[in-house]
Copies of this chain bind each other. A is one copy, B any other.
Amino acid sequence: MCELLGMSANVPTDLCFSFTGLLQRGGGTGPHRDGWGVVFYEGKGIRAFRDSAPSVDSEIAALVSRFPMKSEIAISHIREANVGAVNLENTHPFVRELWGQNWTFAHNGQLADAAGLPLGEFVPVGTTDSEHVFCWLLAKIRDRFESPQRIDANRIAYWSQLKHWCDHLREMGVANLLFSEGRYLYAYCSTKLHWLTRKAPFGEARLSDADLAVDFGEHTTPNDIVTVIATNPLTANEQWQAMTPGELIVFDAGQIIFQAED
């Protein structure tokens, strides 16, 4: 299995604190030694960092946890391989351009017969079930909705349809998902996913996996809203919300804009 981490915020926010906790699980406090990756959105552009080495040993991961890259949406993943060799092309998150937007996708779980899902123009570079599913999903979105303008005019129908496609994946196995096109962050829970919104009044947060605490009151303004989504809670002293199987949440600038449960 793997672990997921996502962030949606209403101001450019760095991921250093949460990422520091996550990367401990990549060969340190957790068994996810088979690579890691993170994508930060900055405007329409992205910065992607990935490595097939364990995140606890990775010099690139150390840079990411140290150097505050500010972003309103970020998606990260640490991998314990089940389908696909340990190499760079099998490392999440996966990225594709659709309609001039950078789409990013990370998956925790394993699916039976993902290779049977039909593909369109998007073709996997690597051999994971996860990238195959991403390519399938993008083709579905393009074929059904045709343009971002049409999505904007039919957002509820679009989000409901996304949940329907994610439900289809859940029927094939375990499909905890984080994905984004740079505007919204989508979190789908198949078995396990937690989220936490930090906003004023900010307090201290203490990592579960490393001896690190941050007083967010010192690093924020009263208007900041930052939501963090993770497979398992990253802090011990905050109240994380558990998502339910089959639940899709769409986050916009740190806040829930759409939520659908089974």
Chain A residues within 8 Å of B, Cβ to Cβ: 42-52, 59-60, 63, 67, 87-91, 96-102, 121-126
- Copies of this protein in the complex: 2
A100 touches B88 (CB 8 A): no
Please list 10 pairs of residues, one from A and one from B, whose beta carbons are closer than 8 Å in the complex, sorted by A's number: A44-B125, A45-B52, A45-B88, A47-B50, A48-B48, A63-B63, A97-B123, A100-B124, A100-B125, A121-B121
Instruction: Please give me the residue from chain B that is nearest to A44 by CB atom.
Output: B89
Q: Which residues of B contact A67 (CB under 8 A)?
A: 59-60
Q: Which residues of B contact A48 (CB under 8 A)?
A: 48
- The distance in angstroms between the C-alpha atoms of A60 and B52, with both chains bound, is 19
Q: Which residues of B contact A59 (CB under 8 A)?
A: 63, 67
Instruction: Please give me the residue from chain B that is nearest to A42 by CB atom.
Output: B88
Which of A59, A89, A99 gathers most chain B CB within 10 Å?
A89
Query: Taking the nearest CB of chain B, how far is it from the CB of A177, in angstroms?
Result: 19
Query: A48-B48, A50-B47, A60-B63 given as contacts; is B87 within 8 A of A100 (CB)?
Result: no
B45 touches A125 (CB 8 A): yes
A47 touches B88 (CB 8 A): yes
Q: Which residues of B contact A101 (CB under 8 A)?
A: 125
Instruction: Please give me the residue from chain B that is nearest to A46 by CB atom.
Output: B88
Query: Taking the nearest CB of chain B, how far is it from the CB of A109, in angstroms?
Result: 21
A45 touches B90 (CB 8 A): yes
Q: Which residues of B contact A91 (CB under 8 A)?
A: 45
Query: Taking the nearest CB of chain B, how far is it from the CB of A94, in angstroms?
Result: 9
- The distance in angstroms between the C-alpha atoms of A99 and B125, with both chains bound, is 8
Instruction: Please give me the residue from chain B that is nearest to A62 by CB atom.
Output: B63
Q: Which residues of B contact A52 (CB under 8 A)?
A: 42, 45
New A-B pairs, 5, CB < 8 Å, besides A45-B91, A49-B49, A101-B125: A42-B88, A44-B89, A45-B50, A89-B102, A100-B124
User: Which of B89, B90, B99, B126 interacts with A123 by CB under 8 Å?
Assistant: B99
A87 touches B42 (CB 8 A): yes
Q: Which residues of B contact A45 (CB under 8 A)?
A: 50, 52, 87-91, 125-126
Query: A43-B88, A91-B45 given as contacts; is B123 within 8 A of A100 (CB)?
Result: yes
- The distance in angstroms between the C-alpha atoms of A187 and B157, with both chains bound, is 47
Instruction: Please give me the residue from chain B that is nearest to A88 by CB atom.
Output: B45
Query: Taking the nearest CB of chain B, how far is it from the CB of A85, in angstroms?
Result: 9
- The distance in angstroms between the C-alpha atoms of A42 and B67, with both chains bound, is 24
